[in-house]
Amino acid sequence: MYNSYFNLNECTCVLDLKILTSFCYGNYAFKFPSLERLVMDGCPSGLKNVLTSSTTKTLVRLREMKISGCNMITEIVADDDDVAKDEIIVFNELRKLTLSSLKSLTSFCSGNCAFRFPSLEILVVADCHNMKIFSRGELSTPVLLKVQLKTWDKEQSAWKDDLYTTIQQ
């Protein structure tokens, strides 16, 4: 792995990326220690995932993630070989996660990664009709009380004991 990395500023918005096929390229280590907000909208071509599990470890200040209108994305976090199978991925500062109009999305992560979201208050899942599970690994969302299932109806929310059950309904 090369020691090169990209260090993005506090807010990075990626919009209308019609030909994007990869957010990360080759053997470059992408680090985002200052990133507080990640917004991706309209990348319908070959992009299959947004982040790798090893890249998520550098998102120490991320407070909001919004992914929408990316028709080919099947998962948000792709499992990679750089993360040990028993390692836990922690999004310490993430307060709001929005997944909207993602036609091919089947899960947040299809691997067996364990996730901790100690600050997650709001989860919005709208028009992600193929999403069957959030993740196969262990999940911790201690302050999440509701999942908003449609963005156009802010009153429609659901909570069925845990995030696994809520997403499967």
Per-residue pLDDT of the chain (169 residues; tens, 9 = 90+): 333 344 444 445 454 444 444 455 445 556 667 788 888 888 756 788 888 888 888 889 999 999 999 889 999 998 876 666 667 899 999 999 999 999 999 999 998 889 999 999 999 999 998 998 999 889 999 999 778 876 455 545 666 667 767 776 6
Which residue in 121, 133, 123, 63 sits closest to 91, CA to CA?
Answer: 63
Domain extent at residue 82: 1-169
- Structural tokens at position 131: 């999403």
> Into how many domains does the chain fold?
1
pLDDT reported for residue 11: 47
pLDDT reported for residue 141: 95
Answer whether 60's CB lies under 8 Å from 33's CB. yes
pTM: 0.79
pLDDT reported for residue 160: 67
CA distance 52 to 127: 23
pLDDT reported for residue 20: 46
pLDDT reported for residue 9: 47
CA distance 88 to 114: 5
